[in-house]
Structure 1
């Protein structure tokens, strides 16, 4: 009996995931030959993927080299404005359309993520999974697509707000408030809780960045 094979990830997805996971950080140079060796693919799809990522402003030119782009203060502020609006809408729609099973998964995520306190990297990955579940629970494919684009750009930030002392515990409490509102089918409360969650994360990130050497 033959088993269906899982489709191999394309070069674009592999590079995007590496940036999202922090393998490549803002300012890092991406070299075709090194990427081809790392991912075990030929240089042609790597070159096409790099061109696509540059078009999407996830990569930038530094002379003849391509580097992972970074966001300046204004770009980050603009991104958070868009993220706040879209995430608030996702929470509101999730309160209306999420299945009971999706709500249970969200509750389980909050509970299980408490074990990750003290590990900012793991907590950041769990945070992305939580938000992704909210997006999917909205049951609006076009909103999910736009939020995917926003979260790709979030990977261009050099730090995670969850690295701030005490932020992990507060963030999980905020997640709990979001889930509780979704579970009550209270769209206005879910929208408000998620917007407040992002606002606190933004303030935390600004404080972290202000401490970085200029």
Structure 2
């Protein structure tokens, strides 16, 4: 509640008391009546515009997260794709502001200090990645569904910050196919490939933490399945 613009601690306390919700309650612990009344309050406050849904997609290296995101960007204009910031250099064909915001280390430090990042992490013991929060908040408040494509550590952080987010784990058809995709793209040397594959084993072991799993056998089909998850009810039974 306190993350909603113009709702400070005092106003939140009054609203919670009026709705009969204890301050210690978490969203997942609300009863059906409480959930309904809270939802109606937020709808009325926003002039009847329901907030958008947030879907967080993560998965192991080389599983095809970028390809699935690109497919969604090209074919599903109703979905707002968050653009991450990173300190790594662009790969061939990547465009600043479209695929990532490519920033220097000092700029990334500034974004951390000013709390502009919803989450950030060091990935593969090398470069930092982070999710700028202001564009996400604006899109959700305008009723747009938002997709984040981030790493496992970032997905955990977002779920802690925004419990209503849907976590989707993108899987390869098999381990052998994952290895083939990684070695076939030719963007890492053998040592980096080995390090990324070791990280992938750890990431695959965490898939049960996610709400849904999507197997990326074919990019268009996987993209469609991810988009369909934005239409799910806010709270799973």
TM-score by length of 2: 0.27
In proportion to residue count, which structure has more strand? 2
